[in-house]
Chains A and B, each alone.
Chain A
């Protein structure tokens, strides 16, 4: 029995090592690459393993601080997640697609999220000359223009 589970464990580890190269063929979700690195030391705003496990806690905490206290740091801002993790191309995948960064994992994990019933699921140009304040924690500086702005009615 112990020998058996050891074999499974080792083969699992080996698979894990091989997988990244063959993400397209594997059962694991194919997660789109981010557009920038947070720092030289780490890719995302916290170590990747931590982000995989706890990103919702960071976002939730930031959500309440921003909504009620006007704290607008960028490190855990959902807008900044989207700006960095989703392409600004006009045909960028929507959150309903499994090619969308958030949904690539969430559909795999069978966890439905309702963030994007209200929030933008793709980067959109910020208002006017407006740029998010760079004081304090800063994430990516990407603030691209999206071509889908002509949906506005007056």
Chain B
């Protein structure tokens, strides 16, 4: 089947679908708008009309809870070699302590999916790139493993693969000699699902993580960002991060 006829088919389906949507919108406008905003057919490229973001409420993030990290490791098959200094880590729990009062709090730290990512600036091959929808990725086909991006990242979000790997996940290819980091579970996001860490956090009823389109004013994340005070980590660097935090 040619690309053109595929496109036509999709267009027909879309037009048919949107008529039904208009009828439904009167019943539940918020919900439906939210869903339509994110639906992307498989054969369409992502666009900058969407900017994916995450809001993490550190007040709800329990000390000792590791559910998001576990979910990430499971999802992407991140295996350890008992070498914590170099083992791949896409999301990690960080504990903050106020030295004066002794107050401690904990939060997950992952790739912040910056609007102006330093890792992309320094990449000599163009392997480190930002997708139109704001997700920062490494194209491992192009990555030469120089690790400049690891040095440039203010959040220490990237890992280098030192070992030969086997049994990678089909949707998350990883290999020796390349740099990697959180992908916002791009394979799930492209399929209208939320990242594995957010799903795990919500499933365990912690609800500390919200994922969504920051460009869509009706999305849960936009509404929470509007309603509550939130911060970017190292906002002074003016990177405009896609991951925001409450309660820090």
Contacts and interface: CB of A to CB of B under 8 A. Distances in A.
Q: In the complex, which range does the number of interface residues on chain B fall in?
A: 35 or more
Contacts of A123: 170
A55 interface: no
Contacts, number: 114
Contacts of A83: 170
A65 interface: yes
B169 A120 contact: yes
A14 interface: no
Nearest to A72: B42
B85 interface: no
A120 B42 contact: no
A130 B60 CA distance: 27
Interface residues of A, number: 37
A129 B196 CA distance: 11
Contact of A154 (B40, B45, B74): B74
Contacts of B133: 70
A70 B46 contact: yes
A73 B170 contact: no
A120 B166 CA distance: 8
A12 B187 CA distance: 47
Contacts of B9: 136
B139 A136 contact: no
Interface string B55-68: 00000000000000
